[in-house]
Amino acid sequence: MSTPKEVLSQKKLKAKEELSAAGFFKPLKIYVGSATCENAAGAKEIMKIFETQAGKKDCRDFYLSKKGCVGRCNLEPTVEVYEEGKKTVLYVKVNEKEAEKIIDKHIKVGK
């Protein structure tokens, strides 16, 4: 029978493996706001644009995820770009054209 500490260690290891398999530990992460009001403002379409770029040869590898409410309905949809070693960048009022610009300039080139 396992001790509580061993059970906890096993759960921790399993969680790390699942996060790793999902790509969570990649140095570049993109979070698209996806709360109800953000979805109403067009976040689902923005998410699809980023999904189409994932894995493309001309695009840096990144982890993509949805993000909950940030409490700023007047700034939605939002896209947050986290890059290891750099300040996090929050883009607001992102439309499809702006999403393409974020991909071309920030994700592909790193500016």
41-83 tens-digit pLDDT: 999 999 999 999 888 888 889 999 999 988 888 899 999 999 9
Domain-embedded: residue 2: no
Give the CATH number, domain containing residue 96.
3.40.30.10
35: DSSP letter: S
Number of domains forming the structure of the chain: 1
Q: Domain span at residue 82?
A: 23-107
Number of Cβ within 10 Å of residue 69's Cβ equals 14
List Cβ neighbours of 68 (8 Å cut-off, separation of 6 or more): 33, 34, 35
8, 10, 70, 107 from 14: Cα distances, Å: 10, 6, 29, 30
Mean pLDDT score, 9-26: 95
Looking at residue 100, its pLDDT comes to 94
